[in-house]
Amino acid sequence: MWTGEVPMTEANAKSYCGECRTPLDESPSTSVDDREPCPRCGSTSRFVSVNVTETITVHESIGLKARHASGRKPFREVKSGDDLHRGTGEWRTIHRVIDRENDHYDEVVKGPDGRVLREVHEPLSEHTGRGAAKKRRQDD
């Protein structure tokens, strides 16, 4: 799944004489009528070299759900990798294990600098008030 940022593109172009390849101090977009003859050979043909560099940032994560053949609800869920925090817009690293069979919840969230922002190790039955465990408002 692509979760990267918008690529940053940088391009630069240089003009050379089309006959002798002498570097020219001339914009590659100079029209044919406005070109000065090459100081070395006198040609007005041009060779243009264009270099394009792109930089992208890629974020990845993996998740799994383990179910018994007879059950619908997963007995174990794991998520590990990069996660975009919607409130701050920053990328964080998360490692979460929900183990329903052993009534255990583990989660470690680290910021972009590697600092631990949240660390929880508790029985799943006591894990309340966050994410899907939040109490929902009743509409009147």
CATH fold label, 61-133? Nuclear Transport Factor 2; Chain: A, (3.10.450)
What pLDDT score was predicted for residue 3? Answer: 46
Q: What is the percent of the chain where pLDDT is above 90?
A: 72
How many whole angstroms separate alpha carbon 93 and alpha carbon 105?
Answer: 17
Residue spans per domain, the chain: 8-55, 61-133
pLDDT in tens, 44-99: 999 999 998 888 889 999 999 999 998 789 999 999 999 999 999 999 999 999 99
Three-class DSSP category at 41: coil
Would you state the pLDDT for residue 135? 64
Cα separations (Å) of 106 from 27, 72, 79, 96?
Answer: 60, 22, 11, 6
* Phi, then psi, of 62 in degrees rounded to 5: -135, 145
